[in-house]
Each structure stands twice: as C-alpha cells, then as structure tokens.
Chain A
Amino acid sequence: MAVTTAPAGRRRISKRQLRDWIAGYLFASPFIIGFSVFIAFPMLYSVYLIFVEWDLLSPPSFVGFANLARMFKDPKVNLSLYNSAFYTIFAVPIQLTISFTLALALTQRIRFRDFYRAGFYMPIIVPLVASAVVWQRVLHPEFGILNEALGWFGFEPRMWLFEPKLTKPAFIFMSFWMIGRQMVIFIAGLGNIPDSLKEAASLDGAGAWGQLRYVVLPLMTPLIFYNSVIAIINSFQTFVPAMIMTEGGPQDATLFVVLNIYRNAFQYFNMGYASALAWELFVIVVGFTLVQFYLSNRWVYYEEGD
C-alpha cells in the first residue's frame, strides 16, 4: 500500500501541519479508541486470562500454565481441532474449484447469465440461522429432499446428521451451497483480463485450454489466493450450523473449535481455559495465513507496478 505522506518537517512544524495532525487523529479517533477498547485491550486481557481459573462466581485464581497443559492433553480439544481441520481441508479446495468453474462458465456466451449469477449468489442472502434450520431438514433421513433426490437415482437413504461418519461430509456439502461470494469475486477478476492477452495467446496457437492454463489462471492467482485465505479463516470459525443443526453431535463429530470454545466459556464458565483455547485457534489461523502468504510468492502472479 503506497501511501504518500508529506515528509515531516523536522526543523519546524508549520501551523497548518499541526492542524492536520490534530485533525488526522480526531477523524481517526473512532478507530483508535475502538481498536484499543474492543480489540487491543481484550487481546491483552485474554493473555492474562490464559493463566487464571475463573468461573465468574469466585474471584480469578492464578494457575500458571495449567490451562495450557490441560489444553494439549484434552481429547475434546484435539478432536475439535481435528474436526475443524478436516472440514477446512476438504471444504475449501472444493469450494474454490466449484466457484472458479462457475465463474468461468458464467463468463461464457450463454443466455440469462445475470439470472444464473443471481441464482448462485442467492444462498448468501439467506440468513445463516435460517439456512441452518432449512439444511437440518434438507438432510433429514426420512423427509429431507436430499435423500429424496438421491432416491431418484437409486441411492439408499442416509442418516446424514445422525451418523458420525457422515456428518462432516454433509456439512462440507452444505458449504458448497454458499460459494456465491467467491464466485462473484472470480467473475469480477475474469472480467478484468484484457482480451488482447487472450488474442495474443490464441495467435500463438493456444486453444481454449491453453488460454486458460497460460493466461487466465496465472492472472487469476491473486484472487484465488485471496479467496483461499478468507475461506480458510472462515472455515476454521464455523459455528452456527454446528450449534443449530447438530449441537456438536453425533458423538462430537461436529464439535468444531469455536463451538468447543463457546461451551467452555459460556456453558462450563471456564473463562481462563476458554481463552487458552481461543489463543490456540488464533495461533493456528494466523499461522495458516502467514504460511499462505509465504508460499504465495511461489505461485501468485503480481502485475508489476500495480
């Protein structure tokens, strides 16, 4: 982000400059205050909380590293990490593939493109709670439409949300329904690829596949990267469907990290332990993001002088 700041006059500050400084801070003050009060201070506070035990009834007591030690051994914690990782690792790449393919398809010369785009985007505007409520029933073994539809093709009905092995796949399947945002970003990006580049490639003898492979994909890598970073952050924080559709079950198959944190904080009232878990998730998510940024140098194409 190239922000050109006027070189600060070291020798003397003009009146006008001083006025600017004050104005700058005043206008930015909602963020400076908001950030300090609602982000920075809570984060520091939760670092302190990692080292205490506190059920909100009796005063907090210092326990040292007990929360952290417990965290690494807690089978529920490890299970919740496994569940979230499983969900993310399978859901995100397939989501990206579907949304990218849709974007490609919807930038072809077909009719009713705007209608298709709106249709694929529509699930995003369904409030999360409502979509969880609906999908709980879409996946219902007896009266759900998924089993009904599978029946048309001769498949046996499945107990999607009641069989531990099937629940995460069902959640992943459901997440494909909500790829509208990614799709719109990809469509926008595809629209920004200059025709001339493709024409040049086609003059060089590249077919449709060659153009896709050597022109479109490289130019789209920044958006693929962006979408994957956001999707991973979001997937690791899945909460609403698990809370509403399965309450973490069956047999903790959908006990995702955030649900586990929520339970420890607001059902078991272990403020300290919940903070430790939250920090664990924080480290994982930020770690993932940093690794992605690091690896991005190898595959993401940045136009020079952008």
Chain B
Amino acid sequence: MRSDRQAQGALATGWQSSAAELQAGGTLRRRQDEGSRSGWERVRLAALQLFMTFLVITFLVPTFWMISSSLKVSTEVFAHPIVWLPQDPHWNNYVKAFQLLPLTRFIVNTLIIVLFAVVGTVVSSALVAYSFARISWPGRNFWFGLLLATMMLPDVVTLVPRFLIFKNLKWIDTWLPLIVPYWGGIGAIYVFLMRQFFRGIPMELEDAAEIDGANRMRVLIQILLPLSKPVIATVAVFALLQHYNDFMNPLIYINSMDKWPLALGIRAYNDSYAKNWEVVFAASTVMLTPMVAIFIVAQRYFVQGIAMTGFGGR
C-alpha cells in the first residue's frame, strides 16, 4: 500500500494547481503583452484601475454605512449631509441592542441550529457521495439523476406539504424542521461536489485497503475523508452560509421568540425599533461579523466552491 502521505501530497498539488487555474483568471494576459505594452495600453489599464476602484468602493458603501451608522448617535444618523464617520463611536448602541431583545439567545440558537444542520449536511453528503462515486449498484444512475434534478426544483413546491408533515409530527416550534431534513443528503450541490472530488482520488489506495480487509466505512473514514479536507471545508462553508442565512424556514416553523435564530431576530429589530436605525444597524452588524470572519479565514473555499459548482453545469 502506497504511503498515505505520498498520495496526499500528490492530491494536494493536483488540487492546488486546479484551484490555482480556477482562481488565476488573470494570469493569462501576463505573458501576452509583457514587452509590448504601448502607451495606449497603459492609459487603458490606468483608466480601468481607476474605474474599478470607484466601483468597488460603491459596492462596499452600503455595508460600510451600516457598520459606521451602528456607532452613531441618532442625530448623526439622520443628519444632512450624511455623516460618514461618527464623531466618537457610540458603542452603547450595541449594549442597547443586547438589552432590547434577547440577542445573546438568538446567537446561541443560531449556533446550535447551524452546527447540527452543517454537520448533518457534511456527514450525509459524504456517505451518499461515496456511494455514487465508488460503489456500483443497480439503480445508481437513476438515483443520481434524481439528485441532479432536485437542483432545478424550486423549494416552494414542498413548502406547504412539508409544513403539514412537520405539524403532524408535532415538530412545529422546535428546531427539528431546520435540522433533520439536512441529514438526508438532499443538498444536491453538496453531494455533487463531494462525488466529483472523490472521483478524482486515485482508486489504488482503496483497492489496496480492501485487500487488507478494511470495510467500506473504514475506507471512507480513514482514506477518502482525510484526503478530502478541501471539499469538506467547501461544503461546510456553503452549508453554513445557507443555514445562517435561512429566513423562510424559521419564519414558518419557529413561533416562540426564545427559539428564534438571528435571521428572525434582526427582522424583529427592524419591525419593533424601526425608528432607531443605529440599533437595527448594530444588531445587523452583530449578525454580519461572524460571516466576515469566516470569509477572511476560509476565502479560498468560498471561491473554490463557487468555481466548482459553476462547472457542475458544464
């Protein structure tokens, strides 16, 4: 049996080069006009640079404005012309946000829901993807086709009947409807991503393992998954974003405020304290912060995942 490290190394470079290709985008021009950059070309690029700077600032303004306004006193929020930066940051808005509604509770609830939903997504997708990628069984193509078809399915069709099912199960006003379905591997895009990745891992490793008598679960856990950290991270990050963002499901299933996730909480600030922009913005900033942190830490998984799903349509 080839040493794991060797395989991991080979795979890692394979992944990186393909990821680099995906991410690179721009490098292709580099060679092309290395020596031949005329004056005109330089002017064009400078103009482009300037325009992109202007545009990216425009894109960032709403978020910046939200964060800066979360630190303003209300006279600054409603000032003409606009005050871009508060004179001194008014952190008390955050204290107020935590006092007006149980924001800590919302955060804890969100953490619990997201944690279980994401773990469920990763575990179930890995199992299902392994089956589709590595085992041959009758009906496999049929089920895989169904899986792909669900990507085109608008969720709304199942909205009402799912509600009725959960109502029958007495799951209304619990977190179960927000968690249990995602243990069913029905996130087609995640299964697809993992399957593609598994298929890129050389088979010899497993063949060797099977001769060793290792059963399939062990093959998956001990050989495939350790090699699949990039795709696991991608799936986890995407699922996290999905569940953190989810608004409609909590809206339908969760009634009591002490079970609300952040998404419903922010709406409550917006409804109940509509006049206190600075508090609404403070609460929204609280909801945004973890996402920014994750984006900074896991940026490459965001990009890789999107790029990979993009090619799913090919």
Query: Which A residues are within 8 Å of any B CB, using their own CB?
Result: 1, 3, 5-6, 8, 20-21, 23-35, 37-39, 41-43, 45-46, 49, 56, 102-103, 105-111, 113, 115-116, 118-123, 125-131, 133-138, 142-143, 145, 148, 177, 181, 184-185, 187-193, 195, 198-199, 202, 222-223, 225-227, 229-230, 233, 236-237, 239-240, 243-244, 257-258, 261-262, 265-266, 271, 274-275, 278-279, 281-282, 285-286, 289, 302, 306
Whether A278 pairs with B156 at a CB distance below 8 angstroms is yes
Residue B291 is within 8 A (CB to CB) of chain A in the complex: yes
Nearest A residue to B22, CB-CB: A188
Decide: A145 near B28, CB < 8 A? Known: A28-B128, A34-B181. Answer: no
Whether B287 pairs with A130 at a CB distance below 8 angstroms is yes
Residue B33 is within 8 A (CB to CB) of chain A in the complex: yes
Q: Enumerate chain A residues within 8 angstroms of B80, measured Cβ to Cβ.
A: 143, 148
B71 to A: closest C-beta gap in Å: 15
Chain B contact residues, majority secondary structure: helix
Query: Which B residues are within 8 Å of any A CB, using their own CB?
Result: 21-33, 45, 48-49, 51-52, 55-56, 59-63, 65-66, 77-78, 80-82, 124, 127-128, 130-132, 135-141, 143-144, 146-148, 150, 152-165, 167, 181, 183-186, 191, 216, 220, 241, 244-245, 247-248, 251-252, 262-263, 266-267, 269-270, 277, 280-281, 284, 287-288, 291-292, 294-295, 299, 302-303, 306-307, 309-314
Cross-interface CB contact of B32 among A43, A136, A199, cutoff 8 Å: A199
B262 to A: closest C-beta gap in Å: 7
Residue contacts A-B, CB under 8 angstroms, 18 given: A1-B144, A3-B140, A20-B135, A29-B127, A31-B185, A33-B184, A43-B157, A43-B161, A46-B161, A106-B25, A108-B29, A125-B241, A133-B284, A134-B281, A191-B25, A199-B32, A240-B248, A281-B154
Q: Bound state CA distance, A236 and B66, in angstroms?
A: 28
Decide: A123 near B30, CB < 8 A? Known: A133-B280, A236-B154. Answer: no
B230 to A: closest C-beta gap in Å: 15
